[in-house]
Structure formats: structure tokens, C-alpha cells
Structure 1
Amino acid sequence: MMNKYRIERVVLDDLERLIPLFDEYRVFYGAASDRDGARTFLADRLKLNESVILMVVEGEGDEKRAWGFTQLYPSFSSISMQRLWILNDLFVTAEIRGQGLGAILLESARDYAVSTNTKGLSLTTMTENVGAQRLYEAQGYIRDDEFYTYNLFF
């Protein structure tokens, strides 16, 4: 399958290929579609070097198509005094889901984290998203049953 698909790190020139996927991802989680907002948000992350986005693509040039992506945000562990990456987003478009692209994206995120000498990757998923949980666990992620997550949103 990797002969057909490959992983690329997103740069500003890739933005228009990524926006439909990012919008579909947000809608999947209950947000209203907002491609203009997605364009601004993603462009800011890239211009300010605030995230690393990896996408799975096939084809070349004008025929290149993005099928999925993962977005990593940098963070740090005070206890270990090391950088770590928050795997904030993982998405494969519904029309091609189930073909192993999620696993390829997770492997690429892992490879990137290792190459940047970090402690590891951390992620959160919805409790109802059993398919994603199976994928994460199959890739070696361990669910944390020791700590609770709290949020304060404004």
C-alpha cells in the first residue's frame, strides 16, 4: 500500500489540499463547516511554526490528492525535562477509511517524534470512538487509567 500512498510534511503550498480534510475532521467532531476559518487557522500554525502536520497523499502535481492527516503540537514534560508531542488530530477521509492509512499516519508521527529526540507522543480521543481506540492500542499506545483530564474553557 505504501507504493500508492506516501507521507508528506505539510507546507504552505499544500494548504488547499489539506483544508477540505481539516474541515471534514472538524465536522466529524460536531463543529460547523468553516473552510475560510480552517485556512486561516492552518496557515497561522504553519507560518508560526506552531505545529507539524503530516498528510498521506497519492499522485503527483495537480493530480496529488490528500486522504488523511495528523497534526502534532509541541509540549514539554517538567518531570522528565523533555519535549513531547501532542498528537492532537488524526483523520482519514470516510471514503477510504479502513485501508490502513490511520496506522501509516501514526507510524509517521512516531518516526517524527523519535527523530526529534522527544519523550514520546500523547493523545486524547472521545470515549465513544472505539475504532480509534483500537487503532491506537494496536500501535502500542497505552490508555491512561491513572490520571483524569480537566479543562477550563472560556
Structure 2
Amino acid sequence: MTTIRAATMHDLDALAELLDGYRQFYEQPSNVQAAREFLRQRFGQADSRILVSENGEGALTGFVQLYPGVSTVGLNARWTLNDLFVCPDGRERGTGRALMEAATQLAREHGVARLILMTQIENERAQHLYESLGWQRNTAFYGYLLDI
């Protein structure tokens, strides 16, 4: 059985391992200490919301991280669902779906008008999940990046 709940500082070490796995999925070098420090900053600054999934034994199996923002055009709150990761042992068990549904519910509870996300073009598995949950591919805007 999977349980979804808000992450706490108590989860820092296990969550850092998951974040490191997420970064490796995106071909970044492993660095658990840097992941731990990044998460410590998120908790300290309270600038994101992190939900975690845990299995029946209480081990963390995944997380979703949301960053609050606003829309000037819409005059409302929009959150960016920046990260979704499920450890390999937790996949194909509905964990990703449960995390996405919990993120949507959390946004709804906070009066957020829209969730947005981006995913790699090759990440078809994630795209199928998002679309099965009613997410729509944005065809009205191009995305741009500028590395500083």
C-alpha cells in the first residue's frame, strides 16, 4: 500500500537519495550531499512543496516537487510541477499516479488555478501518465531556456 504525505525534514536523507536518483535519470552525476543541501534549502526557505510516497514498511518510494508562482495574465496562482520521481522498485504500482493526483489535490486546496510542467520529449512513459490524468500538451507557446 502506498501512502502520500507532505515531506518533512525528518525525510531529508531518504529524500536526498531519491533526488539523486532523479538527477541521474536526467544524466547528472551522482551527488547525494549536494541533493541533501538543495533539499535543506527548500525546507529552510519554504519555497517549494514536496510530497513523498512511502510503502507499507515506511520507506520512501518517490516524490513530487511543486514550485509556487503566479500568472500576470491570469491574475492567479500557478504552480510548476518541476519534479516527479519514483524509484525503480516502486514503479508499475500506481505510485507516480498517486503522487500526481495528490499534487493536484494540494493545488486545489490552495486555490491554485493551474499546474504546469515540462518533460523531455523522449520521456513517453511520463507523457502517457500525464495525459491519462487529463494534462494537455501545450501547443500555444514555445519554451525557451537561457543558461546564465
Normalising by structure 2, we get a TM-score of: 0.97
Shift of 1:58: 2.2
Residue matched to 1:18: 15
What one-letter code is carried by the residue in structure 2 that aligns with 1:101?
T
**Counterpart among 76, 88, 91 of residue 97 in structure 1:** 91
Q: Secondary structure at the match of 2:61?
A: strand
Residue matched to 1:48: 45
Q: How does 1:24-35 map to 2 (within 5 A)?
A: 24-35=21-32
Residue matched to 1:119: 113
Distance in 2 between the 1:97 and 1:6 partners?
14
Unaligned runs of 5+ in 1: none
Q: Deviations over 1:67-86 (max 9, x none)?
A: 01000001111011111110
**Pairing 1:38–2:32 present:** no
Q: Secondary structure at the match of 1:137?
A: helix
Kindly tell me the number of residue pairs found equivalent between the two proteins: 148
User: Alignment identity in percent?
Assistant: 39
- Range with bigger deviation, 131-140 or 94-103: 94-103
Residue matched to 1:82: 76
Shift of 1:91: 0.6
What one-letter code is carried by the residue in structure 1 that aligns with 2:144?
Y
Residue matched to 2:100: 106
What one-letter code is carried by the residue in structure 2 that aligns with 1:91?
F
Distance in 1 between the 2:39 and 2:99 partners?
18
Q: Secondary structure at the match of 2:77?
A: strand
Shift of 1:31: 0.5
Distance in 1 between the 2:127 and 2:54 partners?
24
Residue matched to 1:139: 133
Q: Deviations over 1:42-96 (max 9, x none)?
A: 010111001000000124xxx5200010000011110111111100000111122
Residue matched to 1:130: 124
**Pairing 1:152–2:113 present:** no
Asked if the contact 2:68/2:78 (under 8 Å) is kept, the reply is yes
